[in-house]
Amino acid sequence: MSGPPQAQPSQTPARRPPALVATNTVTTKDGLTVRARIDPTLSVADVIKQLCLNLKIPGNPVLFALRDAAEGDELVTDDNLRKKIRDKAALKLTSAPLLEALETIEKLKQRDEKTLRFSLFNLQKYIKEEQFATEFLQRDGLRELCEVILTVGGNTLAYALTALSNLLDLPYGWASLSPQFIHKVVQILANPNNLVNLVDADGSQVASGGPGVPSSSSGKLAPKQSPAPGSVYRFGFNVVYEQMKRERGLLEVVVGRLGSGESMMVLMTLINSLLSHATPAHWIELTSTLERLNTSRAVIRLMSSHTIEDLTNSILDYQGNMVRVVYFKKTRKVLVSGHWGVDGDNEAGEQSYVGDGEQEVMLDYIWSCAKLEADSALSPRYANGESSARSRGKSSIRDQVKWRKLGFETEDLRKEFDSTGMLGLECLKHFVQADPPRFAQLVLEQNSRAAERRCPIARASNEVVEILSEHWSIFAPGYSTSTTFQPFFLSFYRVHALALQFFLRMWSDSGAATTDFSRVASLVRSQVKLALHSETDRPWHEVEHEFLESEYRAVRDRQMKELELEDDLLNKIPVRNLRAKLYKESYEFIRQQRIQCLIQGAWFVNGIPLSSPPGMAQKRQSRPWRYMRLDRNLKYIHYCDSAVKFAVRSGLEDLPDKIDVSQIGEIAINTCALPPNINTAAGPVQSLNDLSSLSLTASPVSFSLLSVRGGESLGDHVATDPSRWADWTDGLNMLRREGAHVATSETAGFVHALTEIGLKIKLLDLSGEKVDIPSSLMPGEPPQDTNFFFSDL
């Protein structure tokens, strides 16, 4: 095969022939329609000037604007002008945003029901345009809109709320909203009799507190930034949540509506927005309230009963948020020391209990349910008659026996809950609360045994927490790689109670002693893996059966077979901690790799949404290919649509259109089908001459970018192969950091594989040097003075 003719060095390179200028139709305000060839190098302002000059339209050209009649009167700007010319869009010469804003405000002031409804319906659309929004706000339009919201109802109110919500998606408006107005909006959301469209218009903006809630990109639980006084961000989550608390029963209404048909999607979005945007001032209160309302139980019901495909992503987002909640509890320290201390500044030696009030209440409850009394052995000095109050206080600290009766190793609860934190304390409290008489009986039974034969209930509880945290990979916030529903994880306390009962039973059945603690823990770890496998499809009663009915001998035999296949070294605490560290590093490595794939760019097919209107297939067939590339600032996805694939140059010159990443609220998968007559490796070719007979079947490698407002699609795509689909769906998800979930098993598998490979390499270094790894690491004594320094590792 001969190649193309080579140009001689002495010859002048041939010029590329000039591209033909597309022809657009332009309709004036008087109804005159003309055909115009528009130079794509001009600005919109220059195009309007030439149109006014050539068509002899009186008036200042600044008072006119161009809109796309076929795209819902979309405003033509310098950013999208080239696309409109290329697509030969039908344009309209209309009033500029300045005049439209003035006309809209005047109509809002009239308060005529019919005029008001029509104006608000159009305002929903125009308020999204930054030019219109700027003019609208400068002329006090926001105050008029707020007054309308306070006085109207029904669909008119829904239009007004949607317009306000669309405005608050832009960085405007919060400085003008009063607490009274915010409370009114919250009341609308809290009223169970309100229509679904009111909830849709009201929900997610209330949850996020508007644009004034900066999100954390470092994986932390909540932002710490403090907006400047007078900033448009002045009313963020804190102020909105304060108004939500004024409306009693609001969260009860929201959780109670889960499962009530059409509103499920927006209510799940509301709950996820609350969890994602909560600030430290309200984080604990919010999560505690949602827990008290059994929100997770309602979500578990949705897992098995929902039929809305888009709800899957909201449920997975909630699941990811709950990983953050559990990790937050696990790392929140238990502050109480667990014994009576002496106030050093109190010369009388009066005792005072130092600690967190909430934690003290929980510990008091646990102790009271145990039906025990603390013992205090007398110190030698006190026995010899020394009567100093301070000496009596110190003796009680040193010799008191209280928490050790429940199975702790010491009386210092800060140390006992150091690795499990508040999560360990709450799990123990829930275990006690489930059956207080049974707990008292267990404690009495263990204390009646010889010291070396007692099962340390509290220590066993903390060990079960660690085992479950390891099983569900609760290593850090924002690092959840589960691609499937995990209903058992959302029932963390119930699973903990079952596993702890199993621990106690195995201890008793095996006749274990204190030195056998790690051996029994290994049995529990093995049983957790067995009982919680196939979590998405397994019924709860089977989990209960595995924990409550399994016999010790069968469990032990299975564990011995497992030990033949794996090294017991992997179950030691230092190795588990090392795995957690490597897991985070592996996740971050895969995240960066996925984002680099986005920056490199790729070709996709413009998919046809399954619910697309007639004519969509024909439109997609004319330009079936789309090339997308993420900019290096990670802010925009630049793209171009084309009839054929071509060699895209590096940079962004060939990609005139863009999607704002901050406006992507969800990456929905399996949402669209291939256009007819398009051949890719991802699916079969649909050869059709009659597009009306096209039967749409979702491609397994399709995905859609849904906007943060209303869930409307910003783009529907079909990948050319599964690997590219995994790169982009998970890459876009990982850009979101908090609340995001991994959508593909390929990415989750890569994270797991890198973690295990890294762990084995680290262990080879140790085993090669024949270093003995202890089961636990005991901290040394603290320095006696400040004469020390930290060495560089």
Cα separation, 609 vs 716, in Å, equals: 7
Q: Does residue 758 lie in a domain region? A: no
Q: Both 729 and 594 in a single domain?
A: yes
The mean per-residue pLDDT over the stretch 393-401 comes to: 52
Q: Both 480 and 559 in a single domain?
A: yes
Helices 264-277, 283-292: axis angle to 10 degrees equals 140
pLDDT at 456: 93
Q: Please give the model's pTM, rounded to 2 decimal places.
A: 0.66
Please say if the pLDDT value at position 1 is more than 80.
Answer: no
Residues listed for the chain: 793
Q: Both 480 and 551 in a single domain?
A: yes
Concatenated DSSP letters of 285-330? HHHHHHHHTTHHHHHHHHHHH---HHHHHHHHHHHHHHHHHHHHHH
Instruction: Decide if 736 contacts 761 (C-beta within 8 A).
Output: no
The mean per-residue pLDDT over the stretch 280-301 comes to: 88
pLDDT in tens, 138-161: 888 888 888 888 888 777 888 888
Q: Both 508 and 640 in a single domain?
A: no
Percent of the chain scoring above 90 in pLDDT: 17
Range with top average pLDDT, 186-195, 347-356, 447-456, 566-575: 447-456
Least confident of 42-51, 342-351, 546-555: 342-351
Q: Both 415 and 539 in a single domain?
A: yes
pLDDT at 350: 38
Please say if the pLDDT value at position 500 is more than 60.
Answer: yes
pLDDT in tens, 761-791: 887 765 444 555 555 556 667 777 787 777 6
Please say if the pLDDT value at position 386 is more than 70.
Answer: no
Overall number of domains in the chain: 3
Instruction: Decide if 28 contacts 55 (C-beta within 8 A).
Output: yes
Instruction: Decide if 494 contacts 442 (C-beta within 8 A).
Output: no
The mean per-residue pLDDT over the stretch 597-607 comes to: 91
Least confident of 166-180, 286-300, 602-616: 166-180
Q: In the 8-state DSSP scheme, what is residue 710? A: T
Cα separation, 700 vs 719, in Å, equals: 9
pLDDT band with cut points at 50, 70 and 90 for residue 680: low
The domain in which residue 716 lies consists of 586-746
Please say if the pLDDT value at position 174 is more than 60.
Answer: no
pLDDT at 339: 47
The mean per-residue pLDDT over the stretch 283-297 comes to: 90
Least confident of 395-399, 420-424, 458-462: 395-399
Please say if the pLDDT value at position 367 is more than 90.
Answer: yes
Last residue of a domain, which of 46, 67, 95? 95
Range with top average pLDDT, 364-378, 533-547, 650-664, 673-687: 533-547
Cα separation, 334 vs 422, in Å, equals: 6
Domain of residue 708, CATH code: 2.30.29.30
What token pair was written down for 372?
């025990």
pLDDT at 355: 45
Q: Both 665 and 590 in a single domain?
A: yes
Contacts of residue 207, Cβ cutoff 8 Å, sequence gap at least 6: 269, 270, 271, 272, 273, 274, 277
pLDDT at 330: 92
Q: Both 410 and 549 in a single domain?
A: yes
Q: Both 600 and 739 in a single domain?
A: yes
Last residue of a domain, which of 710, 729, 746? 746
pLDDT band with cut points at 50, 70 and 90 for residue 498: very high
pLDDT in tens, 306-334: 655 667 878 888 888 898 899 999 999 98
Q: Does residue 773 lie in a domain region? A: no
Q: How many CB atoms lie within 10 A of CB 604?
A: 25
Please say if the pLDDT value at position 188 is more than 80.
Answer: no
Q: Does residue 575 lie in a domain region? A: no
The mean per-residue pLDDT over the stretch 89-116 comes to: 87
pLDDT at 499: 95
Q: Which residue has the higher pLDDT, 135 or 356?
A: 135
Cα separation, 284 vs 269, in Å, equals: 20
The mean per-residue pLDDT over the stretch 359-365 comes to: 91
- Cα-based distances in Å from 58 to 48, 55, 63: 12, 9, 11
Please say if the pLDDT value at position 679 is more than 70.
Answer: no
Q: Both 506 and 393 in a single domain?
A: yes
Percent of the chain scoring above 70 in pLDDT: 74
Look at residue 736 and give its three-state secondary structure: coil
Contacts of residue 97, Cβ cutoff 8 Å, sequence gap at least 6: 65, 75, 126, 129, 131, 132, 134, 135
Q: Does residue 641 lie in a domain region? A: yes
pLDDT at 490: 92
Instruction: Decide if 25 contacts 33 (C-beta within 8 A).
Output: yes
Last residue of a domain, which of 535, 566, 597? 566
Instruction: Decide if 167 contacts 134 (C-beta within 8 A).
Output: no
Give the phi and the psi of residue 263 in degrees, each rounded to 5. Answer: -85, 0
pLDDT at 207: 46
pLDDT band with cut points at 50, 70 and 90 for residue 231: very low
Contacts of residue 654, Cβ cutoff 8 Å, sequence gap at least 6: 627, 640, 648
pLDDT band with cut points at 50, 70 and 90 for residue 341: very low
pLDDT at 8: 41
Which residue in 1, 22, 5, 23 sits closest to 14, CA to CA?
A: 5
Instruction: Decide if 595 contacts 733 (C-beta within 8 A).
Output: no
The mean per-residue pLDDT over the stretch 111-128 comes to: 85
Cα separation, 710 vs 202, in Å, equals: 11
Contacts of residue 545, Cβ cutoff 8 Å, sequence gap at least 6: none
Burial of 756 (0-12, 13-18, 19+ CB in 10 A): middle
Q: Does residue 542 lie in a domain region? A: yes
Q: Which residue has the higher pLDDT, 212 or 160?
A: 160
Least confident of 126-135, 366-375, 476-485: 476-485
Q: How many CB atoms lie within 10 A of CB 299?
A: 23
Q: Does residue 48 lie in a domain region? A: yes
Q: Both 500 and 635 in a single domain?
A: no
Q: Which residue has the higher pLDDT, 24 or 91?
A: 91
Characterize 408-420 residue by residue with b for buried, 16 or more Cβ atoms within 10 angstroms of its Cβ, and e for exposed: beebbbeebbebb
Q: What amino acid occupies position 26?
A: V
Q: Both 610 and 672 in a single domain?
A: yes
Please say if the pLDDT value at position 751 is more than 80.
Answer: yes
pLDDT at 639: 92
Please say if the pLDDT value at position 618 is more than 90.
Answer: no
Contacts of residue 139, Cβ cutoff 8 Å, sequence gap at least 6: 101, 102, 105
Cα separation, 536 vs 179, in Å, equals: 43
For the chain, helix (H) and strand (E) counts, in that order, are: 30, 18
pLDDT at 459: 94
Contacts of residue 660, Cβ cutoff 8 Å, sequence gap at least 6: 635, 636
* Residue whose tokens read 């971050």: 588
Domain of residue 88, CATH code: 3.10.20.90
pLDDT at 180: 76
Q: Does residue 190 lie in a domain region? A: no
Q: Both 605 and 501 in a single domain?
A: no
The mean per-residue pLDDT over the stretch 44-67 comes to: 88
Q: Which residue has the higher pLDDT, 633 or 248?
A: 633
pLDDT at 502: 94
Q: Does residue 120 lie in a domain region? A: no
- Cα-based distances in Å from 391 to 339, 349, 377: 16, 8, 14
pLDDT at 435: 93
